[in-house]
Homo-oligomer: A and B are copies of this chain.
Amino acid sequence: MMLEEFQQSLRKFTKERDWSQFHTPENLAKSISIEAGELLETFQWHSTPDVQRVSEELADVMTYCLLLADAIGVDAVEVMAAKLEATRKKYPIEKARGRSEKYDRL
């Protein structure tokens, strides 16, 4: 399925339930943190991913992200592409290769 097609289903799903009244940017930002916590819980005491559980929690985080992109009126892919360009400049290949330090410590 294409992202755009999924986004259409999601918007219809939300509209049918009259849930956009709850989807303020702030509530969605809270929801993303909450769901990120549930995703992290699948790794609370170990490092091994349970692919089914991880997928479901990851889906929740991403879905709220798409709703937030809609709520603030931006295109999800465009903002990622713009940020990747910025990150590319902060982490030039020759300096960043094989290193996990923050750009200001490279």
Contact = CB atoms under 8 A, between A and B. Distances in A.
B25 A54 contact: yes
Contacts of A81: 1, 6, 9
Q: Describe A's contact surface by its main secondary structure.
A: helix
Question: For the complex formed by this chain, how many copies does it contain in all?
Answer: 4
Given A17-B98, A45-B22, A51 B72 contact: yes
A38 to B, nearest CB: 7
Contacts of A42: 29
A77 B3 contact: yes
Contacts of A96: 17, 19
Given A26-B47, A59-B80, 4 more contacts: A25-B54, A33-B37, A46-B100, A61-B65
